[in-house]
Structure 1
Amino acid sequence: MPRPRARAARRRMKRVVVTGVGAICALGHTASDTWQALAAGRSGAGPLDVPERETVRIANAAQVRGFDTAAHFDGKAVELLDRFAQFGLVAGREAVRDARVTWDAALRSRTAIVTGSAAGGQASIERVFEDLWRQGRSRVPVLTIPRFMPSAVASHLAMAFGVTGPTFTCSTACASANHAIGQAFWMVRTGQVDMAIAGGSEAPFSLGHLKAWEAMRVVARDTCRPFSLGRDGMILGEGGAMLVLEPADAALARGAPIHAELAGFGMSADAHHITQPHPEGAARAITAALQDAGVAPAAVGYVNAHGTGTTANDAMEAAAIRLAFGPHADRLAVSSTKSMHGHALGAAGALEAVATVLALRHGLLPPTANYVGRDPECDLDVIPNEPRHTQAEVALSNSFAFGGLNAVLAFRRWDGSAA
């Protein structure tokens, strides 16, 4: 039982809700399009489309196709924006529109922007290296650093909306977006800010980055099959997703749409290995998120898994879920939407947070696509191939990164009351 002081502190904290979502990924250029694909169990993976594809042994990827930069940015703006930053801005603009935010000076000064990215502007920095080392040029474009710095998205979102509150970026490999959303959530819940825009973006399809993943030997030969027999790796993805967070009472007062409640956040470190995950570390983050939300394990109905499709990760995550939930793990619905939008690295947690929020709102759990058979090491209900019409009350979104950095978000279906 919580101690009296802890209960009193919890009563002083605000309930935090998600009032806006935005997304762009291989499944679609908006959150609505992305959700429709997720709800249909449709994969966005296809043949890798990069100029150097003949030199890369990665066959398939979940890329954002048909993206018209000119439809979103003028020529002058594009000079400042790497592809990863473009995705972050597109998603952020959509989330703010969805939340129906009306800006004034007070709100701008009391809004936080927290973004996540593992790689930053890879394409921009590689272009500079090519100019220097292959083309023999002695100078680089003056805006090179502003284009590739991982914090570019946070800065451009702040400028786009005139936000002057806390603005920063988290870079914790594949947990970057969950760490960003969690930090933003805590700031809103404790009253440090009145609103937050949080999420992540990534665009990893540059030659050097692809060759680095090729060397890791964790990319699937054909497609991503999380938790499935015969899985052999991940499918790289790209894109961005953002959430608007605000206190429930403020959202209700202004008549904002409410998608779900963000109720808790938990973090941990494995302190074990730089690339091999450990179930005890992941389980600690799950338990921390539940405790932060004041939610019993038995109340959770759905887990959006990290679920990369690699042999090591999926078995580890299944074990972590069993450690954290005990016998309730047999009644949990678990799925990996990476089977459809790919592993978008620092943006993955943001895309999965949007998927989890919309699953709670619509009463439909997205499936684990490409599943071909049960693996005894992943003995969970993984919603194979077909979506499930089930109303979960509480859902988790897991992110477990290289280096053993774990971040878990706990969402609750919105009950219509700020009490």
Structure 2
Amino acid sequence: MATDLVVTGMGVVSAIGQGKQGFGESLLAGRSAFGVMQRPGRRREDAPLLGAEFGELAVPEQIPRQLLRTASLSTAAALTVVHEAWEEARLAELDPQRIGLVVGGSNVQQRELVNVHDAYAGRIAFLRPTYALSFMDTDLCGFCTAHFGIHGLAYTVGGASASGQLAVIQAAQAVLSGQVDACIAVGALMDLSYWECQGFRAIGAMGSDRFAASPELACRPFDRDHDGFIFGECSGALVIESLASSRRRGIGGYAALAGWGVAMDGNRNPDPSLRGETRAIRAALAQAGLDAAAIDYVNPHGTGSIVGDETELRALRECGLSQARLNATKSLVGHGLSAAGAVEVIATLLQMRAGRLHPTRNLDDPIDPDLRWVAAQGEAHRIGNALTLSMGFGGMNTALCWRSCA
């Protein structure tokens, strides 16, 4: 049975735009911002790493600068996106005890930790006391609940690259169960250090040597020249509440969350599973009460992984989704890992509201040319029902069905 939940507020930061307006404009224009990564703790002189980093984070002036002194980049990004979503959804109107927060992601502050370790090497006795708090992912919950006065539930959920969508699901379940009236789902910025980047490179997941001299060409989801994902800094927040609550408060929704599916592969290795992906998709469609033919648009996981991309397209075909329009948000923003699912949901809902689909960069030779790709040029397209997909290491597969509120 379909749920009765809507998204009433969103916030986003990414390398192509900070805030929904800037992000949405860049998305529909097909802009990207890939280059050699330069952040301390991530930059490598011996082996330059490609990715998409944003410049100075535009933290809202309402967030005290004193609060930011001990905040990591992941925390500052979470405060920024929650603020945007909070204001749009007018959450200050609600009882603080009826507001929840779910942060999607684990091990999201690795670069921050590497920088602290380097700074205190040889003088560990002088390590700052706040390190006892800041090395934990729950510190993001602490900062956000303290600043916004959230007194309902708050916790983190880890699902690797499926974390953002998993946070949305957990937030939805918190509202449906009556624990809270509104719940904020955050896809946390996974702040990789050079250690994690090297690990991803060693396992064959992260590209790209092939396009080292042309970073703008490196991120190639679903193209035959793909050779791994390209990292992109980003974070997103969505406010989930019941349709009845939003109507009572006179707030319109971006879209209704009609159904979801979660399926595990039962496999610790990073290789994808056709069976797991199809199970998640079919579960989401069943809960939404939709046939595959009713889906107008799919926002796929689409990392640029050689095996992952091919498996995902097989899953779409097997589930009867060949007729849906497809594009790849990661081709513009990169792979945000723990944040990816939340940011790509935001991209989907912005496209639904605009009635337009964004281009897919570098899709020069699709591995399955018969599918209905939106390639170099965006296009007008009314989306009545959409499907968003996220998969994560550890064998996690998630799918969300969205219905237009228009």
TM-score (norm 1): 0.89
Contact preservation (8 Å) 2:44, 2:194: no
Q: Are 2:100 and 2:182, in contact at CA under 8 Å, matched by a contact in 1?
A: yes
Q: How many residues align?
A: 397
Aligned to 1:7: none
State yes or no: 1:60 paired with 2:50.
yes
Offset from partner CA, 1:256-310 (integer Å, 9 cap, x none): 1321111111100011351101111011111111112222211111111100011
Provide the C-alpha distance between the structure 2 equivalents of 1:137 and 1:114, rounded to a whole number of angstroms.
33
Query: Alpha-carbon deviation of 1:102?
Result: 3.2
For residue 171 of structure 1, what is the aligned residue in structure 2?
Answer: 158
Q: Which segment drifts farther, 166-175 or 205-214?
A: 205-214
3-state SS, counterpart of residue 202 of structure 1:
coil
CA distance, structure 2, for counterparts of residue 72 and residue 315 of structure 1: 45
User: In structure 1, the residue corresponding to 2:87 is in which secondary structure?
Assistant: helix
The DSSP-based 3-state class of the residue aligned with 1:233 is: coil
Q: Does 1:362 align with 2:362?
A: no
**CA distance in structure 2 between the partners assigned to 1:154 and 1:59 by the alignment:** 30
Distance 1:69 1:109, change over 3 A: closer
Worse overlay, 199-208 or 160-169: 199-208
Conservation of the 8 A alpha-carbon contact between 2:261 and 2:281: yes
SS in structure 1 at match of 2:39? coil
2:104 alignment partner, one of 113, 116, 127: 116
Instruction: Give the secondary-structure state (helix, strand or coil) at the position aligned to 1:210.
Output: helix
Give the counterpart of 1:274 among 266, 269, 272: 269
8 Å Cα contact 1:120/1:148 also seen in 2: no
Instruction: Tell me: CA distance 1:70–1:264, structure 2 relative to 1, closer, same or farther (3 Å).
Output: closer
Q: Which runs of 5+ in 1 are unaligned?
A: 1-9
What do the CA deviations read for 1:128-152 (whole angstroms, capped 9, x no partner)?
33245x4453442111132231222
Alignment of 1:7-406 (within 5 A): 10=1, 15-51=4-40, 53-55=43-45, 57-67=47-57, 73-104=63-94, 107-131=95-119, 134-221=121-208, 222=211, 223-325=218-320, 329-376=321-368, 379-406=370-397
CA contact (8 A) 1:14 1:191 kept: no
What is the CA-CA distance between 1:189 and the residue it aligns to?
2.9
Q: TM-score, normalised by structure 2?
A: 0.92
Moved over 6 A (4+): none
CA distance in structure 1 between the aligned counterparts of 2:296 and 2:150, rounded to whole angstroms: 36
Residue type of the alignment partner of 1:385: A
Q: Is the 8 A contact 2:206 2:230 kept in 1?
A: yes
Gaps of 5+ in 2: 212-217
Report % sequence identity: 31
RMSD over aligned CA atoms reads 2.0
1:275 and 1:400 mapped to 2: Cα distance? Answer: 10
User: Take 2:337 and 2:158, find their aligned partners in 1: how far apart are those partners?
Assistant: 10
Deviation (angstroms), 1:113: 0.7
Residue 215 of structure 1 aligns with an amino acid whose one-letter code is A
Whether the aligned pair in 1 keeps the contact of 2:274 and 2:311 (CA below 8 Å) is yes
Could you tell me whether the CA contact under 8 Å between 1:56 and 1:210 is conserved in 2?
A: no
Supply the distance in 1 between the matched residues of 2:3 and 2:49 (Cα, whole angstroms): 47
Higher helix share goes to which structure?
A: 1
How many angstroms apart in 2 are the aligned matches of 1:304 and 1:402? 19
Q: Which amino acid aligns with 2:225?
A: G
